[in-house]
Structure 1
Amino acid sequence: MHNNKNLTLSAPLSGPIIKLALVPDAVFSSGMMGDGIGIDPLNDCLYAPCDGVVVHVAKTAHALTIRAENGAELLLHVGLDTFDLQGEGFQLLVENGARVSNGQPLLRFNPDQIAQRCKSLISLLVLTNGEHFELHPPQHDTALAGEALLHIVARTSAAPVGGSGSTSQQAQGSVRITHHGGLHARPAALVRQTALGFKSLVRLHIGANSAPCDSIVRLLALGICEQDEVQVSCAGEDADAALQAVLAVLGKAQSAPAPARPALAPTPIRPLNPPGQLNGVCAAPGLASGPLFYLSGVQLPPDLGNHVPEQQLLALNTALDQVRAEIRLTLSAAREQHNCDEETIFATHLDLLEDSALLQASHVAIAQGHDAAHAWSDAIEQQCTILKSLGNTLLAERSNDLHDLQQRVLRALLGESGHCQLPPGAIVAAHELTPSDLLMLSAQNVAGLCMAAGGATSHVAILARGKGLPCLVALGPDVLCLPAGQEVILDADNARLELTPTTERVEQVRQTILAQQQRFARQQLHAREPAMTCDGQHIEIAANVASSHEAASAHANGADGVGLLRTEFLFVDRTTAPNEKEQIAAYQGVLNAMGDKPVIIRTIDVGGDKQLDYLPLPVEANPVLGLRGIRLAQLHPQVLDQQLRALLQVSPMQRCRILLPMITEVDELLHIRRRLDALRVEMGLSQRPELGVMIEVPAAALMAEQLAEHADFLSIGTNDLSQYTLAMDRDHAGLAARVDALHPALLRLIAHTCAGAAKHQRWVGVCGALASDPLATPVLIGLGVRELSVSPLQIGEIKARVRQLDAGMCQTLSQTLLNMSNAASVREACRQYWPLCD
């Protein structure tokens, strides 16, 4: 029965009552799903604990959720790990959407089968929307089906959930997750942001588990993987609109069967440590030497209890406001510097500070008399335990972001600055550094980072690579037992920390680093001069960039132009597509940053491993071979049309060149060229930019002569061309090292491309990673490449390399490489023919 917003629940089962904290399942015992109880059933039928509506039924029939008439949502879950039974031993007696009465039979189950094949027969009754209701525990130790068991009381500060009875709209739908890597932090933040734009309560359901969409950590704890099918339920006055918006963010459901979920990449295994050395995993390459210093986290004083809740709640809110302000300053700086990685990471941190699960857990602990620091710290640790228990490496690494917020808020609560003074050139060791730690350390000019834990795909690793800081992770606990101040060598390229280097070894490393710095300085002195071979062949050295900020850096470093502007930076990590005005401003900004130099702008290249949250693509068994690059234009022509219109409005147009990705045949090129000309006429323009084709699939390389007849230039993307030619995924842990663009098969395709282009007097460039490899420079020149597009900091190095070469000799020797048996033999021959020198 219910009285206004209060409700008395009857027992759904008979048997001993188990406190939720003692249930042998981390997801339930931690309270992640909500407050509740366990019952060790003595009967074989589950009954409705109140009047209400069935809002979700697990496909495997072992669990269902009822929404009571007062809005409380109750998860009833029979047994633990019973999802694995796939419905065996369960008989549903109600359907999704059915209205049920208190005491009505819901499902029958086979207790013996569950007890023999699953972890436990203990069954759960959980209040999943505790942000609106409190659950008062039972006063006895045994439940009797149909008898009064629990009381639910509405929280006085809670807003009504979805109305009651017939006045509340309800909407449900299913969706297959198309986000690369599943529902990790960024897409979870997008789901939360979308759901908060509506008045309705929005929840995600997978199997027997569900979570409200106002909590990032609860969504992460569902462990939703790419291509999982989830259900979305909405209740409230705008339920239909909320449902459609959330479905659009997650990716619309597909009728085609989903392929098998790919196995998680294995966690890197650390080799045995030889004497005087610790082996780890390279998170950011480089070489450094220096004294070892430790960075430790906040040490909490004991919690004496009996605190005044109002005072502690005020302290927590003040600390949260301080950290929010700090993060907003970081975000502002990241935007000014066009640092997309930093902006994305810390925008998610800002969302996490508003997370209802963290705030609710902290508030409950404070209400029980704990101080704010322990309440916040425990709430974070609880969520991290859940993420690490899911068996998903990516989600486990994202717990590092929660630890970052844990430390920042604790410092604000305890009045600690979080800044430590380290000598320049220090090697910093820690159990696990956070993104905030990294920004602080990089500002102090430390030489390198090493961690006992951590992962190579963590946000810290991403930031370290962007800052050029050598970084080792997964070194193990031994790294925390070394004497502070000890001289060490961090050789991230070889994934090792040398603990007892000799004086000679330290000097050798210092000389190596010094030689690298001096060589770079010499190269920079001539970086703005043309790159001319000894026999007078000019080679254009351009830069790969992704923003006007990077273009300005390229121009300052002597780039002859932009060889590849990746326009994806405008389209990803946002909930809506950039409009035409925004695109014009971005492209014009790059042209302005490059002075009088030409700029090649590649049209949007998404699909495969790059997804747009607002433009979900169909689920594909092999997305790298599916709708990506120019193929997206065939599915969504309005996206490319808008981009082409924007490109036609940059000035001066003569310095703008358009590059089309993933072209495989001449008809695709002709179609885009006709479309570009039609838009030009429609806009009253007399000319259009040059139009080029990206050669990144073998078909395009083999059709180079035919493509060059209709294109103004060709640009080879060696990254994709390598994996498509060798049939090896360049992200595959076991194969990545074998994906070498100096393989003779790749060189033959490059030679064929250059020969085909020459028949129509078209020039050929290379914008893939091979262009940045100094060992490959003479080979590419010898095969006929006339433009190399590299990272901005390598411009001086590659120009210096060109000046050492004789183009005629390169042509002669490169032909001999085409007949070699493998990439290793090509590389060895290159070292002999064209040794690298200062």
Structure 2
Amino acid sequence: MKKEVAFTCELPNGIHARPANHLEAVCSKFNSDITLKNLRNGNEGSAKSVLSLVGTDTLLNDPCSLIIEGDDAESAFETLAKYIQEEFPHCDEALEVMEQGDVLLPQSLMHHNPNLVHAKRLSTGIAKGKLVRYTDVELSLFNDAESDMSFAQAKQAVTETLLAKAETANGQEKEIINAHLGILKDEALNSQVMDAVSQGKTLARGILTAVASITETLLQSSSDYLKERVLDIKDIALQLLITAHPHMNVSTEFTLTEASIVIANDLTPSQFLGLDRAHLQGLILTQAGSTSHTVILARAFNIPAVSGVSIDQCASQEGELVYVDGGLGVVALEASQDVATYFERAIWLAEQKAKVESEFVNDAAQTKDGKHIEIAANIACTVEAEPAFAKGAEGVGLFRTEMLFMDRATAPDEDEQFNAYKAVLEAAEGKAVIIRTMDIGGDKPIDYLNLPHEHNPFLGYRAVRIYPQFIALFHTQIRAILRAAPFGHTKVMIPMIQSIEEIRWVKEQIATVKAVMDSEGVAYGDIELGIMVEIPSVAFIMDQFCKEVDFFSIGSNDMTQYLLAVDRDNDNVAKLYNSLAPSFLRLLKAVVEGAHEHGKWVGLCGELGANKKVLPLLVGAGLDELSMAAPSIAPTKAALRQFDSEQCRDLFAQACDCATIADVEALLDAFSKAQEDKPLLATECVLLDCEFNSKEEAIQTLVGNLGIRGRTHLVSELEADIWAREAVFSTGLGNGFAIPHTKSDNIAHSSISIARLKKPVRWSEDEDGDAEFVIMLTLNKDQGDQHMRIFSGLARKLIHENFRNTLKSMPTEDEVIAFLKSELAL
């Protein structure tokens, strides 16, 4: 029997070792011959061989076919058709590739005439350490060697070593180890080695021949990503060769004894993992590409890395201290004291920025007066969960389970759903996960359910309304959720509820499912039950719903369109869709107050939750939670810190009393102007008793601090603006004071930065050219003439010795700010 599964490759990096390993594992369960054919280039390869699959040079969007021939072809077809559609597209992810456009090198560095080697940026960060050349083992060393064991024995030993490493690995490291395990059992590699041995060649020669053949195939690929897999093949080959020839005493151990920058032609993943990461600070890889597994590991372990630097360029500096800046793409050799000071300061600034950002990711979301509002993530599949929590999610506010049911020929079974829900609950580590039951129909039709075509599907046969017809499907989902519930804080939300009768029917079905599970002895956990508030009728009987459910979550998208009778996907009326309509705000108020009167929790999971402009209104409405896409979580947490909850409540009350959308927007604009801008003078921009060694270090630090404080996202550009002004004339005013300044588009929040130095630095070549007190003005272009007004005001004040001495003697940042505000009338 012959069957065929046609598909288009959706993998962003094509079929390389890791996804090939996944596909090979599925195909190897069947007796049939299974061949992957790439219809773009005509290449074919056994789907039971990782290396043959990789050798097909299958790239993103290539049309492909799996050709199945054998006695179990029917069974293989059913499994693979489902696997290719549902799982295979998710077994790899787009890898970070750093943009290699022009990089603006900071003038604070370039003024010191550094000896820089320019490189390709692979992994960001700044590292310093002794430059150490990696001593590699050449495969050719084993050319004429006689092995001490068979191929099977060598494979078994290497496999056991990798399995032991996999037990303690996680993330990218575990994925790469698993890919290497797949290469070890690869059909193509094994057959080529064994064929060579059967022809009388030594095991070493057989391994080397197979590696050469497979490497040649990979290097012919049009994908740089697949070419970079050559290193993985050589990695496994070296491990096999060393294991099979213990009498040669070949060791890959490479010992680092102090903070080191390692330079090598390239490193295999196992060589990288063998380095002592307590001492490994950075990598210079002469040949590595952006997506090599070694680079992926470097990023995972936060090791700065660059490539495109020859060993000869750095040979004279072996054993000496060097700096690697993975963000700028440079290696600094023979660093002078000034250059070293620049990099030391850059490392310190990076540490301070990481510290500030980590506060928003890991700390609870709250307003500046301490009002906590949970910030959760909206997800559609299991793979989104871990990244969402890494970005600071305090829970999952909406798990759109219908995505499990879409784009497939049949519904997911109970076990598949159970595993999906369990994976998200485990990733949550005790944080609440709201699992929305399938919201199918309407704008999300499912072919295999044969739902009728409707003229107005948004108001039609969808969500909870279809559950009675597909009762087995609904029961299966409830069973899967109940089975997963013991693995975390599980909340179940029913979509499109509009009446008490509907939610009571749902509760009866849950009771029925539990009874069956009890009779079967199937374990399950407790759940909280809630509803999506989308249909306006719910708001008018909140008191009744509070008797039936544990929580509410407002779907702002649908609730807006249902309230305003506007199809937001209809271009003719879309302009009427606006959640700032006073009627919507009053409806929101009714839902929140109705829930809270009965002690019930209420969140919002629509797109409105991530709208920074509307955020103060949502805070003022008294919502317990906002749920949004993961990238919006940290910025929303940061924005919350700007608001006072009492002011937000007053704002919301005023908005509910507005007559028009324009009135609400004007109210928000006025509130935003008062809230968003950071103050011109703030203690976060005052640095007292600084140990600067140069004008360059002073400007580097003051501008870098603006980046840390979120006042600019263009640090190098803003610094360049400051230096452009300095190039015209020095901003040193004498008497120990300097006022570097710029009016720039590169500053988001106009700022006055202050640095008091422990010792003077040379600011200009004038006789009185030293500075020990720096006041830096960085004002955006929206400030009109304020830039020159402040500059001239400061200059006039600095003429007076009493002003200068008072400013120099201020003991605290607060006193400096208060004094300048008073003197400059700011």
Q: What's the TM-score, normalizing by structure 1?
A: 0.53
Secondary structure, aligned partner of 2:642? helix
Selected match of 2:71 from 219, 237, 257:
237
Partner of 1:277: 116
Partner of 1:714: 604
Q: 1:694 to 1:456 in 2, by over 3 A?
A: farther
Secondary structure, aligned partner of 1:408? helix
Is 1:373 matched up with 2:200?
no
AA matched with 2:80 = V
Selected match of 1:189 from 2, 17, 21:
21
Partner of 2:164: 329
Report the CA distance between 1:199 and its aligned residue: 1.5
Report the CA distance between 1:190 and its aligned residue: 2.7
In the alignment, the residues of structure 1 paired with residue 374 and residue 480 of structure 2 have an alpha-carbon distance, to the nearest angstrom, of 27
Partner of 2:154: 319
Residues 488 and 501 of structure 1 are in contact (CA less than 8 Å); yes or no, is this contact kept in structure 2? yes
Selected match of 2:60 from 226, 247, 267:
226
In the alignment, the residues of structure 2 paired with residue 467 and residue 172 of structure 1 have an alpha-carbon distance, to the nearest angstrom, of 42
AA matched with 1:832 = S
After superposition, what is the alpha-carbon deviation per residue over 1:346-384, rounded to whole angstroms, capped at 9, x for unaligned?
212111101121122223333455433343234223322
Partner of 2:178: 347
Secondary structure, aligned partner of 2:295? helix
Secondary structure, aligned partner of 2:233? helix
In the alignment, the residues of structure 1 paired with residue 420 and residue 227 of structure 2 have an alpha-carbon distance, to the nearest angstrom, of 36
Q: 1:201 to 1:587 in 2, by over 3 A?
A: closer
In the alignment, the residues of structure 1 paired with residue 57 and residue 485 of structure 2 have an alpha-carbon distance, to the nearest angstrom, of 48
Partner of 1:201: 33
Partner of 1:214: 48
Report the CA distance between 1:326 and its aligned residue: 1.2
Partner of 1:363: 194
Q: 1:754 to 1:702 in 2, by over 3 A?
A: farther
In the alignment, the residues of structure 1 paired with residue 466 and residue 283 of structure 2 have an alpha-carbon distance, to the nearest angstrom, of 46
Selected match of 2:239 from 405, 408, 416:
408
Selected match of 2:217 from 372, 376, 386:
386
Gaps of 5+ in 1: 1-168, 253-262, 606-614, 617-629, 661-667, 722-745, 788-807
Partner of 1:127: none
**Which has the higher mean CA deviation after the structures are superposed, 421-430 or 461-470?**
461-470
Gaps of 5+ in 2: 87-93, 106-112, 405-411, 439-446, 449-461, 512-526, 531-549, 561-567, 570-576, 593-601, 649-668, 679-711, 715-743, 755-777, 779-812, 815-826
In the alignment, the residues of structure 2 paired with residue 679 and residue 562 of structure 1 have an alpha-carbon distance, to the nearest angstrom, of 24
After superposition, what is the alpha-carbon deviation per residue over 1:234-276, rounded to whole angstroms, capped at 9, x for unaligned?
3322233233433433349xxxxxxxxxx99999668799973
Is 1:289 matched up with 2:128?
yes
Q: 1:381 to 1:276 in 2, by over 3 A?
A: farther
Q: 1:270 to 1:650 in 2, by over 3 A?
A: closer
Q: 1:301 to 1:590 in 2, by over 3 A?
A: closer
Residues 702 and 752 of structure 1 are in contact (CA less than 8 Å); yes or no, is this contact kept in structure 2? no
Task: Count residues with an aligned counterpart.
Answer: 560
Report the CA distance between 1:567 and its aligned residue: 10
In the alignment, the residues of structure 2 paired with residue 221 and residue 319 of structure 1 have an alpha-carbon distance, to the nearest angstrom, of 25
AA matched with 2:642 = I
Report the CA distance between 1:289 and its aligned residue: 0.7
Is 1:429 matched up with 2:263?
yes
Selected match of 1:461 from 291, 295, 298:
295
Is 1:683 matched up with 2:510?
yes
Selected match of 2:638 from 777, 784, 787:
777
Q: 1:759 to 1:561 in 2, by over 3 A?
A: closer
Partner of 1:447: 281
In the alignment, the residues of structure 2 paired with residue 218 and residue 659 of structure 1 have an alpha-carbon distance, to the nearest angstrom, of 46
AA matched with 2:165 = T
Partner of 1:755: 617
- Within a 5 Å distance, the mapping from 1:516-535 to structure 2 comes to 535=369
In the alignment, the residues of structure 1 paired with residue 171 and residue 501 of structure 2 have an alpha-carbon distance, to the nearest angstrom, of 34
Residues 397 and 434 of structure 2 are in contact (CA less than 8 Å); yes or no, is this contact kept in structure 1? yes
In the alignment, the residues of structure 1 paired with residue 499 and residue 227 of structure 2 have an alpha-carbon distance, to the nearest angstrom, of 44
AA matched with 2:30 = F
In the alignment, the residues of structure 1 paired with residue 752 and residue 501 of structure 2 have an alpha-carbon distance, to the nearest angstrom, of 46
In the alignment, the residues of structure 2 paired with residue 357 and residue 372 of structure 1 have an alpha-carbon distance, to the nearest angstrom, of 16
Partner of 2:808: none
Secondary structure, aligned partner of 1:199? coil
**Which has the higher mean CA deviation after the structures are superposed, 292-301 or 385-394?**
292-301
- Within a 5 Å distance, the mapping from 1:539-578 to structure 2 comes to 561-562=394-395
Residues 200 and 236 of structure 1 are in contact (CA less than 8 Å); yes or no, is this contact kept in structure 2? yes
AA matched with 2:748 = A
In the alignment, the residues of structure 2 paired with residue 678 and residue 506 of structure 1 have an alpha-carbon distance, to the nearest angstrom, of 71
Partner of 2:451: none
Q: 1:649 to 1:578 in 2, by over 3 A?
A: closer
In the alignment, the residues of structure 2 paired with residue 785 and residue 409 of structure 1 have an alpha-carbon distance, to the nearest angstrom, of 68
Selected match of 1:830 from 712, 737, 749:
749
Higher helix share: 2
Report the CA distance between 1:340 and its aligned residue: 3.6
Report the CA distance between 1:652 and its aligned residue: 9.5
In the alignment, the residues of structure 1 paired with residue 361 and residue 551 of structure 2 have an alpha-carbon distance, to the nearest angstrom, of 27
Residues 120 and 308 of structure 2 are in contact (CA less than 8 Å); yes or no, is this contact kept in structure 1? yes
Q: 1:351 to 1:290 in 2, by over 3 A?
A: same
Partner of 2:432: 599
Residues 285 and 308 of structure 2 are in contact (CA less than 8 Å); yes or no, is this contact kept in structure 1? yes
In the alignment, the residues of structure 1 paired with residue 291 and residue 627 of structure 2 have an alpha-carbon distance, to the nearest angstrom, of 31
AA matched with 2:167 = S
After superposition, what is the alpha-carbon deviation per residue over 1:705-739, rounded to whole angstroms, capped at 9, x for unaligned?
75984793236889xx9xxxxxxxxxxxxxxxxxx
Report the CA distance between 1:170 and its aligned residue: 3.5
AA matched with 1:293 = V
Residues 490 and 496 of structure 1 are in contact (CA less than 8 Å); yes or no, is this contact kept in structure 2? yes
Residues 278 and 475 of structure 1 are in contact (CA less than 8 Å); yes or no, is this contact kept in structure 2? yes
Report the CA distance between 1:502 and its aligned residue: 1.6
Q: 1:534 to 1:504 in 2, by over 3 A?
A: same
Secondary structure, aligned partner of 1:828? coil
After superposition, what is the alpha-carbon deviation per residue over 1:507-547, rounded to whole angstroms, capped at 9, x for unaligned?
44335545766897899999998777665555668899999
In the alignment, the residues of structure 1 paired with residue 273 and residue 6 of structure 2 have an alpha-carbon distance, to the nearest angstrom, of 41
Report the CA distance between 1:680 and its aligned residue: 4.6
- Within a 5 Å distance, the mapping from 1:480-519 to structure 2 comes to 481=315, 483-513=317-347
Residues 127 and 282 of structure 2 are in contact (CA less than 8 Å); yes or no, is this contact kept in structure 1? yes
AA matched with 2:17 = A
Q: 1:816 to 1:248 in 2, by over 3 A?
A: same
In the alignment, the residues of structure 2 paired with residue 279 and residue 659 of structure 1 have an alpha-carbon distance, to the nearest angstrom, of 55
Residues 451 and 479 of structure 1 are in contact (CA less than 8 Å); yes or no, is this contact kept in structure 2? no
Secondary structure, aligned partner of 2:52? helix
After superposition, what is the alpha-carbon deviation per residue over 1:97-123, rounded to whole angstroms, capped at 9, x for unaligned?
xxxxxxxxxxxxxxxxxxxxxxxxxxx
Report the CA distance between 1:324 and its aligned residue: 0.5
- Within a 5 Å distance, the mapping from 1:93-108 to structure 2 comes to none
In the alignment, the residues of structure 2 paired with residue 530 and residue 429 of structure 1 have an alpha-carbon distance, to the nearest angstrom, of 42
Residues 567 and 601 of structure 1 are in contact (CA less than 8 Å); yes or no, is this contact kept in structure 2? no
After superposition, what is the alpha-carbon deviation per residue over 1:13-57, rounded to whole angstroms, capped at 9, x for unaligned?
xxxxxxxxxxxxxxxxxxxxxxxxxxxxxxxxxxxxxxxxxxxxx
Q: What's the TM-score, normalizing by structure 2?
A: 0.54
Report the CA distance between 1:783 and its aligned residue: 10
